[in-house]
Amino acid sequence: MKTLRDALRSEELTLTAELTLGPRDGPESVVEQASTLAELTDAIQIPDHRHARPHLSNIAVAALLLRNGIDPVIHMNCRDRNRLAMQSDIVGARALGANNLLLLRGSNFPDGHRPVSTGIFDMGAIDFLATAAAIRDGDVFPGTAPEGAPDLYLGTVATAFPPSENWEPEKLASKADAGAQFIQLQVCMDLDLLAAYVERIVSSKLTWRFQLLACIAVLPSVDAARELRNLRSDSVIPSSLVARLAAADDEQAEGIAVAAEQLKKIADLPGLSGVNLVTPGDPGLIPEAIRKSGLRQ
């Protein structure tokens, strides 16, 4: 089975894709989607109640993927579980052989969310990382790792922004100190901004301490681009890109073309080890964009 860890250690650009999960997705549809995405990617990312929508538990989805020879990357947020549940989920994922964990704070529930739910936030992302690292390193829950299994591979997220002249990536350094082995950026489709941000991280030598992944979206329409900007306030989707989609005769084909162009450019960007692809549309758009980029066929 190809794995995220091995891919990030290779010279080739690592590609992952994020599942689109909703309340109506059952085991068969999840496996079908994951299998389609896995053909051209190195690992499949499993969201944790994206946009506060319920779906099959990410641990259950990880088990389904492993059963089908696909390496999962489990997202876990601090919003939906207390400290005890966090620890149990980490140990449980490891027991299954799901070693890639992307740990994040999680966004607040949107206004008017129904049914009403309570955000827990027992800890923040850095404390969550430190907790997972303690489990990985055997400081807590000793003896719970399967014999001969690889260690947990821990990641978290960050948001790209235009760095000021005096900016130092101290928060990223803190995440590395807490145990992050890879850091994945939120959706950023402004490649000039992305390049400036990554260049500063490279110059700080932090890419010696963790692998850095970008994230781009395959946008099926101008409405999807606008909705993504509204739903994910930490995403960077330039107005020029929205205008390009709006002017296109075929918005979906244009969205695929944009993602393919950006993939090719990111492949030449020093400091980035990989790209995660997401889409608010048909998951099949992701392999289309990868093929169009020429990176994989």
Burial bucket for residue 199 (CB in 10 Å: 0-12, 13-18, 19+)? middle
Topology adopted by domain 4-213: TIM Barrel (3.20.20)
Q: Judge contact between 133 and 68, C-beta under 8 A.
A: no
What's the whole-number mean pLDDT along residues 99-124?
A: 75
pLDDT tens readout for residues 130-187 = 999 999 999 988 878 888 778 999 999 999 999 999 999 999 999 999 999 999 999 9
Give me the helix-helix angle, 83-96 and 58-67, nearest 10°.
10
Helices (H), the chain: 4-9, 27-38, 58-67, 83-96, 125-136, 170-178, 191-203, 222-231, 239-247, 251-267, 285-293
Does residue 285 sit in helix, strand or coil?
helix
* Distance of alpha carbon 129 from alpha carbon 103, whole angstroms: 7
* Res. 73 pLDDT band, cuts 50 70 90: very high
Domain segments of the chain: what residues? 4-213
Q: Judge contact between 239 and 229, C-beta under 8 A.
A: no
In this structure, of 38-52, 105-119, 215-229, 248-262, the range with the lowest mean pLDDT score is 105-119
Q: What is the mean pLDDT of the chain?
A: 94
The pTM of the full predicted model, rounded to 2 decimals, is 0.94
Q: Which whole-number Å values give the CA distances from 44 to 36, 53, 54, 137, in the listed order?
A: 10, 19, 19, 25
